[in-house]
Structures are given as structure tokens and as C-alpha cells.
Amino acid sequence: MSSDTTDCSIDSAKQALLDKVAPATLKDQNLVTNNREFSWVTNKICKIVESNTPNWWWVCMAVALVTASFTLMGLIWLVSTGVGVWGLANPINWGWAIVNFVFWIGIGHAGTLISAILCLLKQGWRTSINRAAEAMTIFAVVCAGIFPLFHVGRVWFAWWLFPLPNANLIWPQFRSPLEWDVFAVSTYGTVSVLFWYMGMIPDLGILRDRAVQRLTAGIYEETSKLRESIARGTDVFRKYFYGVLAMGWRNAGNHWRNYEMAYLLLAGLSTPLVLSVHTIVSFDFAVAVLPGWHTTIFPPFFVAGAIFSGFGMVLTLMLPLRALYGLHDLITQRHIDNMCKICLGTGSIVGYAYIMEFFIAWYGANPYESFAFINRAFGQYSWAYYIMFSCNVFTPQLFWFKKVRQNAALVWIMSILINVGMWFERFVITVTSLANDFLPSSWGYYSPTIVDIFTFAGTFGLFSTLFLMFLRFLPLMPIGEIKFIMPQADPHGHSDDDGKESE
Amino acid sequence: MKEKSQEHGAKYWKSLDDLSETPAFKEWVDKEFPSGASELEGVGRRNFMKIMAASFGLAGLGMTGCRRPKQHILPYAQQPENLIPGVANFYCSSVPGMTANIPVIVESHQGRPTKIEGNPSYKPFGGATSTYNQASILDLYDPDRATTSSYNKSKITAYQVKDFLLSLKETSLESKGNGLAVLAEPSASPSREALKKAFKTRYPEATWTEYTPSQFLNTSKAAKAIYGFSVKNSVDFSKVNRILSIDSDFLSEGDDALAKSRGFTAKRKILNKDEVSKMNRLYSVESNLTSTGSMADHRLRLSVSQMPAFIAKLGIEIIRLAKVGSELESTLSAIASTCEIEDNWIKECAVDLYASKGHSVILLGDHLSTEAQALGFYLNQILSAPLALLEDKVSAPEITNLANSIKAGSVKTLIVLGGNPIFNAPADLEWNKLYNKIDTTIHLSYSFNETSAESDYHIAQSHYLETWSDGRTPEGHLVPVQPLIEPLFDTFDELSILSSLVHDTSKENYAIVKDTFANLGGSDFNQFLKEGILESISYARSSATVNIPALAELLKKASMEKVQLGLNNLELRFIPSFHAFDGRFANNGWLMECPDPITKLTWDNALLISPRLAKELESEYGVSIFASSTAMNEGSDFFKSVKGELQKNSSVFKRGKESAVIAQIEVGGKHLDIPIHVLPGLANYTVVLPYGMGRNLVGRVGENVGINTYGLRTSEGMGFITGAKLKTTEKRFYLANTQEHWSMEGRAIVREGNVDYYKKNPDFVNQMGVESHAPKNYGYKDDASLSDKSQNQYRGNSAYVHPKFNEPDPNVKVWKDKEELYPANQQWGMTIDLNTCTGCSACVVACQSENNIPIVGKDQVLRGREMHWIRLDRYFSAEKYTPSEIPEDVQVSFMGMTCAHCENAPCESVCPVNATVHDKEGLNTMAYNRCVGTRYCANNCPYKVRRFNFFDWNKREIGEFYKGPLGPVEEPELEKMRANPDVTVRMRGVMEKCTYCVQRIQAAKITQKSIAGASSETAVPDGTIKTACQQVCPNDSITFGDISDPKSEVSKMKASDRNYSVLGYLNVRPRTTYLARLRNPNKLMPDYYKKPYAYKAYKDRYGSSQSTSGHDAHDSHGDHSHSHSESHNDESHPAH
């Protein structure tokens, strides 16, 4: 934002030249528009939690819960009966479960990327979306965690994957990528929760304080006695609920100092996780000997894909929220533009990887390898490949156009297409490689069963349930951080463009 | 101590150290206490309470709900003789057959027979058994077997049956057997033969008929005509170099198939190029594609109707070559006039056969006409074929005679001993109607089947493992049928029923068998039982020669009519089902689920049709039989340029399932709807229909399985019938096929070479595949001996290093400082010789029997969840591979694929819980207890040989899998009894796979250790351990043993230059390696091929670019010299 570029080191000749050129001061669009005040931000965000539950929330919640029950039913049948209720068989021993796992884990990547890497890079625009994105991350990890846990044949022994002393006196096998997964995903989950929760503490304090203020001032504009006492009761609950969660946050200067330091440290800690988790997930495939899996390109390719799908999902969630809660001033077109551009970038990396895989398959001159890739594109699962390729490679290319980025409805549809495409990418990688590997005699075909489909569909219900709960009970955006990036927060903020703004 | 020393009295010290009170001694005294004792001192009351409370708390938290199931073990009050719990007993017996018994040794655990193995004392079989023999033990524990006898479908006791038989005997004796008839199955039992004789003398007016649907009498008719008496052939394959098989599946059909197969393949065991000359050559002319055809060096597709003309033409050629006179020639040329086969094929074949006079033989299918059989006998005589004519006593009248007498009303009482005539008698006899005309019908059968339901009396039959009997081998040696267990139910058998009819005082089977033994000239019965065979007696050999005028007379009767086959005049060929045989095994799950070696179908029978017929049907009726073609199988230039790697070669598979069109076949006014399966290698207009499936009164396993095709089979057309019409319908049916993809895609998986090529390029096998271009697996140690390689696992730069195999474990103190005495672990390995594997699939069932492998049912096979530890891959390859078409002429390659026990096992490194690990003997072991079922191992297995328990296969019935806890969860008691107690029964959620029969290895090691005693001779001698698949294989294609011992059989096999690792380039270093297949084509034949089609496909796809890239100097060199020699041959032999 700053445009004062006077630099003494530039020699005079150049200075003269520069003066002549008189570079235009290119200004980014403000991250909070309409010249809002600090109090407006606080009210806007806190009211989401404090106002009466909107009807659409109940409807959504009901739908989400019903959908989530599919997963529950699917898992009950699975555990009580056997993994055979899924469509798995020799040679395709991993099907939708692993696809869904990678899919959800991938979605989880945007949250940490936004909160950690963008924080370290001092990208101010992250503030309006990071809280929701982090929540999304955690809920996506919850959904993801279901699949590797329940896809095992004897789920009651799944704890053997953890290095716990047990009666069999056998330690986990640390050469297995699945073992790495256990650590990668659990670390990721833990750090994400910590980061999310810690970032929320000041806002929880605000919610607590607002409830306390209302209680002491006794300002309730309710129509009836009953309503008033309900509101009062709710505030008492809030006082303790947020009070406990806020862990004694007093908004003190040293609180803020410690908070900032801790936040920075956690951001530093999470940054490698953004790269490591999906790298390790990609090792599930890359470490195997299977043609189509045994590929060194997988780690960067998977990470790019994960960020791609993560931002897709953030867009899918934030655009409706923006409309529902009228958050246009906080989630501005600039935010949408930035997210679209990240999708464009990562989508192009993914597209490049697809093409590179073919090149290497040809260049490697291994008949099994080259077959695996040609088969992907033209074999029995070519339909999946086409869906994947068109959604992941062609869709984001539209983001080159400003008009497209400015059309929220279109962006929303495309963000969904991105996630469809990314789900199919995992499907293509997992299933096509398994279905047609080395010995043609054992080639097969995989079809999901109704249980597969329901279990997966149910995770969207679970995700939505959790997200709706988050909307209702926790601050959607970091109030304090948004205030930091408002023009008013910059005491040296000056000048022409911001001059109109007061303070 | 000081105080003590001040005490009075003598002081005693333990040692000088004690006296001097050295610190070391004090420490030693301290340590002498049990380790726990000193630690306890540090635990205070509070700590103790804390720990106890915590552990009690945890115990209460976690363990209250979980209790191990309570099981009672009761000791024997009186220990039976020879029974040591945990140690198996073995008894000699034999499996009764139609014409011969198969000598076996039965393994018994605590009185339960659990496994059947061939008796190696009988040399022609070499300890082998067939698929059916292996599976027959399952029938013993079939919960659907008949457990009681019944009268008009209500149960009766064994005493009532005996009473009835007594009264029957009395009334029949009065009438001298008038109105009494017996319909039995043919049997090789001399005791039954004796009882039959006695029956005939006691009831002179009774009739005795024998019938079984798979038996043809044409051979014996022909023999009677030209020799004057019935004979059967016994070929001495050790002397045979050239074989012409005319529609004869001699490698798998008949009770002596094992001997033939063993004899045939013995000449194909070639360790190095110097042994190549012993390789025999098989010409096969067949209408159906069989195992025999798949082994052929030259194979000709020919309809059965054309066979007589073919044989006649061949006869002319041979007679001319032998110059034995022309009296038959005119008759023969009349028959041969309709022959459609290229002259050269027959001519060159005849030349080759005659050139090996004395060492060549012609084998004919039993279903071929009497005339053809007679001519076959004569041609073999001209060729001086090394075969013996054994006198055969087929004398029973045919079932048609019995039908006529029933029609005439002369049969009042019919005793049906075994068999199932209502189901399988020729359709034109309308047995069902005839049967109900009879006043009293009695049926002895093992299960309550279609015939039992129509019978007045049904008598439950005993299993052969429950009764005494006897039998004869193909040569006529006597073998016992010895019971392994008391009859589980009140059941009877043939001998006891016949005996109660012919003997005045009841005579036990044991006594009958013993008498027969004595009458045949045996002396020591116990010795006989111990050895399981009495070789001193055998069938008489005949030196009769063909009566040529009689032959000429017979040939004149042959039909000269030319049958023009086509879409509207198809030839329908009947074959017994691979699964149910003639229907008797319809309730045997192992057989139902064992894939047919050629079609790979399980649980179904389908009408087999040729690809050409399929195409004609498509264009005629517009129903697409093949899956719709896609961009991948258009053969466009683009795909050609990317080497046309196709996943979807033309087939009838849709989404991994064989979606077969149901066609209606019509013959002789009868219709049948049946799914069709397109099979290459069939004669164009011959359709093949397996019979025996589709039983409608059968147990749980066989219910609704397959289609009954006996309705089309008449007494005139038992083997084949012409005039059939086929039309497709819109309906479809899923066939459970275990192998979707028939092409090897040019990959170097099954490696094949021609004998000549091999002679010039003995190392051609190892110049194929990616590994011929990849770095050596063993790096600089590549020249090390196999023994060295197997024991010192060089793993490149891998961080993971195997421990040394010849060092004791660190905790074995006995060997401390004596490592040199520690015997090195034996290193197990296996070879599979693709040159001798005929695809018979006995190994699949033997493995299932040995290793408690469950069956999963058709639905689960359709989903691809079959559990077999051995998969028998079958690939087709054609001269020209066009993916858009199923070829008409194919070469078949078999490859038994099972866990290869890779030294660098890719399954092990990915298991997160250490459930699959390597042991010191090189086995890749599965710890079922540790397995949580991530299935990563199965994904990472390049051979796809791991099998996952998707459901509780063992505890739940087929069809109940999806009910989970709501369905019944216990295996029937009877089924439980058959499990091999040495092998864990796996629960759901765990992975399993071939273990190299680790239980057998361990048993052998224990035995060897007890032999070794204190000496260090603990190494198990080579040949002691036989895996179940190896044991059952008639061709000894599988060799197992210690690869660290250069003298072991398996090391010798691995030293062969035919030896290679499948996918060796992956550096997984499989312990199971394969010996490449050789083909021995005749250069003069018009269908001579320079390279086996599989090799050609490899060269076409992957070979050419490699040789041009210059990596492959050897290969291109080899290829060059090869083509050079071929062009030379081309010039010298214009026969091409």
C-alpha cells in the first residue's frame, strides 16, 4: 500500500530519470471496503454468533445431520460385516476410501497455507478468510481421518499403527508410508487445532466481554419477558462458555505481545506441515512399485493439487457466506481475485504435472509405465481422466479473465468443478494404477457399492454439520487481525487515497 | 559382615573372593537375587498401591467385556493306538474311478481325514492326483449329503433298509430275479466284479446294466470288431517322440490321464540345450480347446464331423508311407473325399509320425466313431506305436437295452447303484417316465438327488473314505479302498447292498475285500494295506493284431456323407463340465470355484462358441456379443504409434464382469437358453456344451448353479450332434470369470521359444523383458552363486540389511563362541516349469485343501474376491495380435502364479504393523494375528497374489456375507471337521497368501531334528518337503527345496538357462522362478511358426525398438542368426 519510494542510494541520474517517468502509484483495493469503522467490524462478526439463529441455518443443519447419518450407517455396516460391503476386490484393494482420504486431506491444505504461509509472507488479505479456512481444514481432517481408520480390515486393532506398547511386543513398521501418514496427519490435525484455537482467543474474549457488558448493562430489546430472560440466560451461558475458552484473555498489551509471538511461532511450525502432509500422503503411492504410482513427481504435484483443491473449497464456502451474512465489505473482490489467482497458479502446476507424467512415461521407456499412463487417458477409466483433466486444467484457465473472477456465481460453480476434478484426480491415480498393473491376467475393474457412495456423501454432511456449528458458535473472522489491516490501524497511513477515510 | 566375623564359631567362605571381600564379589552376591526381588525394595507401599490400583482400573476398563471363548479339551479315557495328538497319521487307500482307481495316501488328524495325496508307490502317477480326487474329501463333510435313508421321502432307519433288502432278496430268489434289474455305474473294483458275478448266478433272470454319462463304448466296439475282444490302450510315453491327438484330451480325460500327462511331460523336462533332443512333439487336431491342445506344437481346429475324413486321409498317407498294401485305400479315399483340410498338414504330419516309427502314436477321443477308433488301432499298429493292448471286460449291456425292457414292462424292481439317471440319462430315453413305470425303485446315492426323489427307496451311501472296498489301477494292479473314519451317518455302500442280496449270511465289506485279495493271489493283506498297491497282478496284455478284412468291412459302414457346417447347421459337442464333472460334484464348492483351465469360468457352464461364429451371430441377429469397441481398440495410427497398448482388447467384459449374451440353441426340436462364451481355438461351427451343471435337487452349494444341458443329449449324440441352430437373445447373464484379459500384451511374462531357437540361443530367456536392459539386481555380486546370493542378501545401497542367515540369534547362548557350528538356515525356493504345466488346476484345489482356503461363491467371484492362493493364469497369443478381435487360432500359455516369496518383498516394506515379514529361511510370512488389513501389501504386490478376507468366509454361508452379525455366524459342525489343524483358519479383515506350505516345512524340520539328535545334521534332506501343489502335480512342474544347497533339485532347476524371474527388473528377487516354455514345431508343416506367438508378440511390441537402440547386442545378434537360419530353412523346404 505504501508508495513512498524515495531511496537515497539511487544515484542522481537515475533519480532524474525516475522523476521524469513519475511512476503511477498503483493501489491495491482496500481489504475492508466502504470505509467501515472498527466497531462495525466487531459488531458484524459478533452478531453472526449473537443474533437469533436464522431459519436457513436450521434447514441446513437438518439436511447436514441427515446426510452425516449416512456415514454413520455406512460405517456401522462396514464394521459389523466386513470391508466387503465396499466395492474393493483384488486387484483394486484401495478404492473410494483412500480417494476420499486424499481428497479431504487435500482440501485441508488451504487453511494452513492461508494462516501460516500467508501470515509469514505478511499477506494482509488472509485475515478475512483464514479463520473459516482453518476451521475448514480441521473439519476436512476429521472427515479425512475416518477413511484410513475404517478402511482397515480389523478396525478394532487400528491402534497398532501407533507406537504403543502392546501385548504382541511388536513395534510399528516405520518403513511403511502408512505409518508416516499416521504421524503426518495426526501432527497436522493437532497443529491445525492449536493454531485455530490460539488465533481465536482474542475473539473469544470479545464475545465473552460483550455478553458480560449486556448482562451488567441489562440492555435487552426483546419484545416479551420470556424472550428477554432467554436472551439473558444465553448471555450467562456465553459468559462462562467463552470465558472458559478465552483462557483469561484480558486484551492486555503483554497478552497481545505474547499472542503475536506465539502466533508467529505456530505459523512457522505449520509452514513445513503444509508441504509435508501431502508429500507424505503422496508417498502412499510414490513409494509403491506400481506403475502409475511409482513416480517422483508426486510430492510437489500432490501439494499443488492440495492447495488447488483447498482454495477451491474455501471459495465454495466463503462465497455463499458472504452473500448470506452480507460480508461484502470484509470479503472483497480483491480476496476473490487473489484466491482465483492461486487456483489458476496451482491448477496450472497440476496441469503441467499431468503432461509431465506422460513425458516421463515415454522418456523412461518402461513398457509397464508407459502403458499405465496411456491406459489412464484412453483405457477403461478414460471417462474419469477426462473429467479430471477438464475440471482441473481447463476450468482454472478461465481465471485469467477478470470478468470471470468478478462473477461470483461463476466462480462458485468453478470452485465446485475444481473439487470434482480433484476428487477424480485421486480416483484416477488410485484406481487406474491398481486396476491394470503388471500382469494382464489379474486386471480388473472397480465399481463402488452403495455403501461406498453413502459413506462418502455422508462426510459432506459431517463436514457441513461441523461447519454450521462453527458458524453459530465461534467467530467467523479474526476481529483483531482485520482491524490491523484496516487503514485506520496504520497510524502512518496517509495520503491521497486514504485521506477521505476518517481518523 | 564385620559383625558376623565377630561371632563365635567357624567361619565359612564361599570362595577366595568372599574371604577377601572384593567389590566384584559383593556385587555378584547382590545380583544373585532374582532381578525382581531387588527392585521390589524400591517400591514403597504407596507406590505399590498406586500401581496396583492403576492396573486394576485398566483391567476393569478394558477387559471386562472381552473374554476368550470357553473351550473344553477332554483327554482320551483310552488313548487310541498310533494316535499322538498333533501328529497326523497316513493311510493308503484309493479313489474309486469308472475304469481305474487312483491310489492315494490320506492324511488323518485325530481320526478326521483332512487331505488326500497320491500314493507315490504307484509309479505311473508318481504321487499325483486329479482335481476331482483332491476335492472328493470335501464331499465327506458336505452338510448336504444324505444322512439317512428314506422311503417315499420319509426317513427310515438303517434296520428298516436291511429288512427291506432281506425281503427283496427272498422275493427275488423265488422269482430267480425275474423282473429285477440293476443299473450300476462302471467300477474298477474286483470285489464288486465278484459280487456282480454272484448276483448273476443267484438271479439268472435279473439284468445288470452299467451306465455313466461320460463313458463311450466306441473303442471297445471297434476293438471287438477288429481284434475279436475288447481292449484298451496303454501308451508307454517314455518311448514316444511324436504324438498325434485327434480330439483326444488325453492329458486330462480318463482315469489314467495322470499317467499320460506325466509320461508326456517327462520328455519336456529340459534342463539345458543339450537335452533338447528328447523333447517330443504333439500334433493336436481338435474341435474344442483343451489342455492337450494348449500343449500342442501344432494344433488344428477341426469339427468332429470332419474327424473321420481326416483320419482316413491320414490313414492313406501312412499306409502309403508304410507300403502295407492298398486294400483299404479305396474305402479310405471315399471317406477322405469330404476332408477339408490342407493336404500338406496331413501329409507332413504323417511323414513326421512315420519317420519316428516305433516312437509315435495316434490317440483318439473316445467320442469318435467306431470306424475311426478301428482305423486308429490299425494306424498305431503300422506305426508300431509303443502301446500295450490291455484286455478290457466291458460286457454290460447299454442303458438303451434297459430302457427297452422297462418299456416292455419286464422290470418290476430296479436297483440303481449310484449315479443319477433321471438327471443324466440320454434325453431320448425319457428316463423320468420310464422310471415311474417300475413298481419298486431303489436308489443308492450319496446325496438326495433328482433320481432319489423319484425313487421309492433312497438308501444313503457312504463316502469312499468311510468304507472298505478295492479297485484296480489302469494296468490292473490291485489297490485297496480303506476307510479312514467310521461312517459318520447310517449309510450303506455298493458292496454291502450287493452282499446282502447275494450272501446268505451277512458278510462284512472287510471280509469281502480280503477274500478278493486272496482270490487274486495276494498273500499279505496287511502289507498290501501298508503299501497301498499290489503290483504282482495286472491285466493281461494282448499281442493281437488287427484283422484287416474285418477293418475293411467296418470302414465300409462309415458314413461318407459330407456335413456342411454353417451358421444354420452347427455341430454341438458335449463335454463333461470341469466343475461338476457329469453332475456328481455339483455340490462341491472347491470344484465349483476352481476356474476352468481354459475358459477361467467358475460356478457356471456356458456354451462355448468360436469368435467367427460370434461375429456371424452379431451380424445375423444384431445383438452385440463383444463389448462395444472404443478408441483404444480401433487400431488407429495414433495408438499404433504409442505401441497400441490396449487395456480393452476385444472381449465380452463390461465393467470387469463377463456379461454374456444368452443364446437359444435348438437341436432335434429341443430348445435351451444358455449364456455363450466366446473361446478362441474352437472349430468355427462347433459349439461346445458342458454337461453336469444345473442340478435342480442338490445342496446349498450347487443350488441355481449352471444350466442343465442333458436335455439336448440323446443316445445317438452323446459325443456330438449336428444340425444345431443358435440364435442370440437380448438377455444377458453374468458369468463369473476369473480372468478378464486374455492377452499378455507383448509383455515378457510367459517366455517361450522354439526348440531350434533355444538350441542356438540358450540364454534367450534372460535377454527378454525390462531386466535385460536394467542394471543387474545383484550389482557387482551378480556372478555370485545362488547359495551366496540367497544367504548374503545384497541389497544395493539399501539401508535395510538382512541379518546373516548363518549366525545364531543373539539370544541363543548355546552357540556363543561356536558360531561356526551353527548350521546355516536352509533357504527355500521354488521353480515352476512352464514347459510341463498343462494347466490341469489340481494344484489350485490341493492348495485349497491343504491350507483351509475358503470358497466365496459366485457373487463374490464376480466381484473378484476369489481366495485361491494359486492362480493359474492363462494367456492366448495369436500370430497377429489385433486387439479389436479375438483371434481364431491361438497358442495357449499357462502360468501358475502364487506368492513368489520375494527376497526384497515389496509387500513387507509397506505394511505398517509388521504383519508380513521375512524369516531367516527366506519365507515371506504372514502373521495373521498382527494383520489389521490395510491391504497395502496386496496393492504393492506386483504379482497380485495376496488375498484378503473381505468377510468372515469361514463362519458365514455363501449368500449370508452381507448380513453381518444378523446372519448365522457359525460354520456347520460337519464342515469344521475337514480343516487342516496345522493351518490357521483366517478371520475377516486379514490378508493371506501362499506360505510355501510352511506347516510342512516346520513338520519336516521337527522330524529332521529328532533324527539328528545331538548331531548338527539338522538340514532337511532335499526332496523331503513337498508343498501341496508340488505334491499333487502329475508333471512335477513345481520343484521346491533349499536353494542354498547347490545339489538340491531346485538349485539345479534354477541353474537352467531357461530359468527367469517374472518382472525381475523390479529387483524384488522372487524366490519362485519360472522355466521358460519351449515349443517344438515341425519346419515342414504349413502352419510352422518361427517364433511362438507369445514371443513374437513380445518382439513386435518391445523387441524391435530395443534392438535398434543398440542396448541389446545379444538379443539382436541372436535374432539375426535366428532369422538367418530360418531363411536358410525357407529355401531348403519349399513346403512353406
Confidence band, pLDDT 50/70/90 cuts, at residue B9? low
Q: pLDDT (tens digit, 9 = 90+) per residue, B812-859?
A: 666 667 766 777 888 999 999 999 999 999 999 999 999 999 999 999
**pLDDT greater than 70 at residue A7:** no
Q: Do A444 and B864 touch (CB under 8 A)?
A: yes
Give the pLDDT of residue A180: 92
CA nearest to A112, candidates A45, A41, A46, A190: A190
Closest Cα in chain B, distance from residue A273 (Å):
21
A157 touching B (Cβ < 8 Å): yes
Q: pLDDT (tens digit, 9 = 90+) per residue, A172-230?
A: 888 899 999 999 999 999 999 999 999 999 999 999 999 998 888 877 777 788 888 88
Residues 942-961, chain B: which have Cβ within 8 Å of A? 942-944, 946-952, 961
**Considering only CB atoms, which chain A residues are within 8 Å of B749?**
439-440
The C-alpha torsion from A451 through A457 and A460 to A465, rounded to 10°, is -70
A-interface mutation test, from B932, B937, B969, B991, most A Cβ less than 10 A away: B932
The DSSP secondary-structure symbol of A487 reads G
In a domain, A152, yes or no: yes
**pLDDT greater than 60 at residue B1108:** no
In a domain, A87, yes or no: yes
Contacts of A96 (CB under 8 A, 6+ apart): A86, A87, A427, A448, A452, A453, A455, A456
- Rounded to the nearest 5°, which phi and psi values hold at B614? -60, -45
More confident position, B561 or B870: B870
Q: pLDDT (tens digit, 9 = 90+) per residue, A16-25?
A: 777 777 666 6
Q: pLDDT (tens digit, 9 = 90+) per residue, A54-105?
A: 999 999 999 999 999 999 999 999 999 999 999 999 899 999 999 999 999 9
Give the pLDDT of residue A8: 52
In a domain, A10, yes or no: no
Q: Among A489-503, B315-329, B928-942, which range has the highest average pLDDT? A: B928-942
**pLDDT greater than 50 at residue A42:** yes
Burial class, B37, CB count within 10 angstroms (exposed 0-12 / middle 13-18 / buried 19+):
exposed
Please tell me which of the candidates B645, B906, B1066 has its beta carbon nearest to residue A374.
B645
More confident position, B727 or A10: B727
Q: pLDDT (tens digit, 9 = 90+) per residue, B963-1003?
A: 877 887 777 788 888 889 999 999 999 999 999 999 999 99
Nearest Cα residue in chain A from B861: A89
- CA A158 distance to own-chain centroid: 27
**pLDDT greater than 70 at residue B917:** yes
Query: Within 13 A of A323's CA, how many CA atoms are on the CB side?
Result: 9
In a domain, A4, yes or no: no
Please tell me which of the candidates B632, B741, B952 has its beta carbon nearest to residue A440.
B741
Residues 246-265, chain A: which have Cβ within 8 Å of B? none
Cα separations in angstroms, B604 against A498, B580, B690, B705: 82, 10, 10, 6
Q: Do A154 and B933 touch (CB under 8 A)?
A: yes
Q: Do B962 and A84 touch (CB under 8 A)?
A: yes
Please tell me which of the candidates A87, A92, A168 has its beta carbon nearest to residue B930.
A168
Cell of B1065: 527388473
**Considering only CB atoms, which chain B residues are within 8 Å of A184?**
none
The C-alpha atoms of residue B1014 and residue B1127 are separated, in whole angstroms, by: 66
Give the pLDDT of residue B785: 85
Nearest Cα residue in chain B from A294: B940
The total number of structural domains that make up chain A: 1
Report angle CA B986, B989, B991 to the nearest 5 degrees.
Answer: 65
Cell of B831: 521353480
B638 touching A (Cβ < 8 Å): no
Q: pLDDT (tens digit, 9 = 90+) per residue, B589-599?
A: 999 999 999 99
Cell of B984: 490357521
Number of other CB atoms surrounding residue B53 within 10 Å: 10
A69 touching B (Cβ < 8 Å): no
Residues 549-588, chain B: which have Cβ within 8 Å of A? none
Give the domain extent around A466. 54-479
Q: Do A90 and B914 touch (CB under 8 A)?
A: no
Q: Do B912 and A379 touch (CB under 8 A)?
A: no
Q: Do A81 and B962 touch (CB under 8 A)?
A: yes
Contact B696, B708 (CB under 8 A): yes
Nearest Cα residue in chain A from B642: A374
pLDDT more than 70, % of chain B: 87
Contact A464, A67 (CB under 8 A): yes
CA nearest to B1091, candidates B894, B895, B883, B879: B879
What sign has the CA pseudo-torsion A331, A334, A339, A343?
positive
**pLDDT greater than 60 at residue B520:** yes
Give the pLDDT of residue B795: 61
Residue B852 backbone class (left: φ over 0; alpha: ψ -120 to 50; beta: rest)? left
B734 touching A (Cβ < 8 Å): no
In a domain, A27, yes or no: no
Give the pLDDT of residue B1123: 38
Give the pLDDT of residue A422: 92
**pLDDT greater than 60 at residue B34:** no
Dmax over CA atoms of chain A, in Å, equals 82
**Considering only CB atoms, which chain A residues are within 8 Å of B881?**
none
**Considering only CB atoms, which chain B residues are within 8 Å of A172?**
912-914
**pLDDT greater than 50 at residue B556:** yes
Average pLDDT over residues B643-670: 73
Which ipTM was obtained for this model? 0.89
Q: Is the preceding omega at residue B576 within 30 degrees of 0, hence cis?
A: no
Average pLDDT over residues B891-917: 91
Cell of B953: 468366509
pLDDT more than 90, % of chain B: 40
Average pLDDT over residues B645-658: 63
The end-to-end CA distance of chain A, in Å, is 18
Q: pLDDT (tens digit, 9 = 90+) per residue, A344-391?
A: 999 999 999 999 998 998 888 888 888 888 888 888 888 899 999 999
Three-state helix/strand/coil letters over A311-364: HHHHHHHHHHHHHHHCCCCCCCHHHHHHHHHHHHHHHHHHHHHHHHHHHHHHHH
Residues 405-434, chain A: which have Cβ within 8 Å of B? 434
The CATH number of the domain holding residue A448 is: 1.20.1630.10
Please tell me which of the candidates B865, B952, B961 has its beta carbon nearest to residue A89.
B865
Q: Do B648 and A168 touch (CB under 8 A)?
A: no
